[in-house]
Each structure stands twice: as C-alpha cells, then as structure tokens.
Amino acid sequence: MTFEPRIVGFLCNWCSYAGADLAGVSRISYPTNIRIIRLMCSGRVEPVIVLETLAQGADGVLVMGCHIGDCHYISGNLYAERKINVLKKLLARTSLEVGRLRLEWVSASEGGRFAELVKDFVEQIKALGPSPLAGDKPDKNILAGVLAAKAAAEDFRLRLLVGREKTMIDDGNVYGEKVSEEELDKILNEVIDTEFVRNRIYLLVKEKPLSVKELSERLDLDSKTVLRHVVVMRRRGLITVDRVEGTSPLYTALEVGR
C-alpha cells in the first residue's frame, strides 16, 4: 500500500482560505491529503495546537496566511511568522523532522498557487515517510519530545518573548535600544533550549522518580546541566525529592502550579 500522508492545514479566513476556495471554483485539482481548518488569521496559529496536531499523528502541518503587507489584521501574519519560527526551533529539539511543518503565503486570488503548494507539501511529506507518531504504536521517545515541546510552548516566559519579539526588533526595547534579530534569536534559542529540557525532565519524572544521572542518560545531556535544571525546577515547586536511593536523590513531579 502506498503511503498517503495526513496533512492538517491551518488557513486564514481572508486570503488563504479564500485562495483554497478559488482553487475549487476554478476546479484546480490537488491531492486529497489535506484537511483544512479555518482560522480568522494566521496569527491565531497557536504553537500548542500545532504541536498537539503533530503529537496526534498528523504527517504534516501546513500553515497559510496572507502575503506580507496584505494581512486583514495588519500584522497578524508577521506574528505567525515568529510563531512558526519558534515552532521550528522547538521541533528541531525533538527527533521529529522539522520538514513536517511549513508556512506559506497564499492570497485570495492564488487558487493555482494554493494547489501547487499542497501538491509540493504532499511530495515533501511522502519523501519523509509516515510520521513516527502516527498509528497505534507511536515512537515513545519522539512523542515525549513533542509533548515536552508542547509544554514548553505553553510556558509563560517563552510566550512572552515571542509576543514581544516583533516590537523589540521594530520599535526597540524599554531602553529605546533596537534589538537585532540575531540577538533576540540567541535569547530565544536559550529560552527554548531551557524550557524544552525542563519539560522533558518534568514529563520523565512524572512517570516515575528518577535521579539526575538517569535523567542525563535518557536525555543524552551531561548530568551537570541536568542538575542545573533540576535546581531551578525544585525552587519553582515543579519537582521535589522523592527519596534518596544509595547516593542518588530521586526526583518526582509535583502536581501544583502548572
């Protein structure tokens, strides 16, 4: 049997969704693999929802919005761009291929372009093969990664930074300094790294109490770094010491405050 990817498309109401409609009106055919979800604006694309979609086993996610400058809500698509950027960074830290997520601009008059893009994306996903999270036996390790990424995307600190990214680059920060893309990217990468690892730790110790050494093996991360995260998580009341076994304190997740 040939592999038929299941793709979820998040399309903005004013341009891309209209473009998809136009493809229909114009009877331009394209592969059947896409399931479209209408949003008012591509800026509504919520990283948590995208990650959940992937965790549920979608083989690909295609986000579409108005061309830059065309956004019905002035700059929603710019925010979408930032969010996809963060999503890609998050995905890069999981073992799921970043290529399963794509952002494109399609205007209301680009029915042809819409069909082309869908075709192209389906090819892209076919080349990648089925998602390791699809089917009855999703890859546990990768799923843990995606769920950690999802939890990280829920994190206040990360959302705050993403939310302010554009203002800080365009208008400058509270000190009136323009922050360069690279600089902000660096900060963002650090926060994403941190949050991703912490959420992986949280999910792991939620299953059963683990030591820093065990965590470090599971995460393939040096134990010194793991300990630093454990210290912060303990201070924030996310995890606590369950017991000490031999010379190893075992940590467990706390249910509160999340």
Partner 1 sequence: MTEFEPKIVGFLCNWCAYAGADLAGVSRIQYPPNIRIVRVMCSGRVDPVFILEAFRSGADGVLVAGCHLPSDCHYISGNFKAHRRIMMLKKLLLQFGIEPERLRIEWVSASEGDKFATVIKDMTEEIKKLGPSPLKVQVEGLIYG
Partner 2 sequence: MKDKVGAVLVVGGGIAGIQASLDLADSGFKVYLLDESPTIGGTMTQLDKTFPTNDCAMCILAPKLVTAGRHPNIELVMGGEIRSVEGEEGNFKVKLIRRPRRVNEEKCTGCGVCAQKCPVEAIDEFNQGLSERCAIYVKYPQAVPLVFAIDRDKCIGCGTCQEVCKAGAIEYDEEEKEIVLNVGSIVLAPGFEEFDPSLKSEYGYGRYPNVISSIEFERILSASGPYGGMVLRPSDGEVPRRVAFIQCVGSRDAKLGNNYCSFACCMYAIKESIIAKEHNPDLQCTIFFMDMRAFGKEFDAYYSRAEEEYGVRFVRSRVSRVEEVPESQNLIVRHVVEEEPKDEEFDLVVLSVGMRPPKGVEGLAKAFGIKLNKYNFCSTETFSPLETSRPGIYVCGTFAAPKDIPESVAQASGAAAKAASIIATERGKLTVIKELPSEIDVSGEEPRIGAFICHCGINIGGVVNVPEIVEYVKTLPNVVYAEENLYTCSQDTQKRIREKIKEHNLNRVVVASCTPRTHEPLFRETIREAGLNIYLFEMSNIRDQCSWVHMHEHEKATEKAKDLVRSIVAKARLLKPLKKPMINVVPVGLVIGGGLSGMTAALELAKQGFDVHLVEKEKELGGNLRHIHYVLGSEDPQERLSSIVKEVSENEKIHVYLGAEIANIEGYVGNFKTTLNHNGEKKEIDHGIVIVATGAIEYKPTEYLYKEDERVLTQRELEERLAKGEFNAKTVAMIQCVGSRNEERPNCSRICCVQAVKNALKIKELSSETDVYVFYKDVRTYGLNEDYYREAASRGILFIRYDDENKPRVSRENGPLKVLAMEPVLKTWLPIEPDLLVLSAATIPNPDNQRISEMLKVPLTKDGFFLEAHMKLRPIDFATEGVFLCGLAHSPKLIEESISQACGAAARAITILSKKALEVEGAIASVNEDLCSGCRICEALCEYGAIKMEGKDGKLVSTVLEALCKGCGVCGSSCPTGAISMLHFTDDEILAQVRAALREKKHD
Question: Site residues (CB under 8 A) for partner 2?
Answer: 156-158, 160-161, 164, 168, 172-175, 177, 179, 184, 187, 191, 194, 211-213, 216, 223-224, 226-228, 230-232, 234-235, 241, 244, 247-249, 256-257
- DSSP letter at 160 equals H
The residue among 140 and 213 lying less far from partner 2, judged by its C-beta, is 213
- Write down the least CB distance from residue 235 to partner 2, Å: 7
- Do 62 and 9 contact (CB within 8 A), yes or no? yes
- Write down the least CB distance from residue 236 to partner 2, Å: 9
Q: Given the rule CB under 8 A, which residues bind partner 1? A: 235, 237, 256-257
Cα(9)–Cα(250) distance, rounded to whole angstroms?
43
The residue among 126 and 234 lying less far from partner 1, judged by its C-beta, is 234
- DSSP letter at 66 equals P
The residue among 90 and 238 lying less far from partner 1, judged by its C-beta, is 238
The residue among 163 and 237 lying less far from partner 1, judged by its C-beta, is 237
What is the H or E stretch that residue 35 is in?
A: strand 34-39
Q: Among partner 2, partner 1, none, what does residue 179 contact (CB within 5–8 Å per kind)?
A: partner 2
- Write down the least CB distance from residue 186 to partner 2, Å: 10
- Do 63 and 39 contact (CB within 8 A), yes or no? no
Handedness of CA 199, 200, 201, 206 (dihedral sign): positive
- Write down the least CB distance from residue 159 to partner 2, Å: 9
The residue among 27 and 235 lying less far from partner 2, judged by its C-beta, is 235
Between the CA of residue 203 and those of 47, 151, 238, what are the distances in Å?
19, 9, 11
- Write down the least CB distance from residue 235 to partner 1, Å: 7
136 class by beta-carbon count within 10 Å (0-12 exposed, 13-18 middle, 19+ buried): exposed
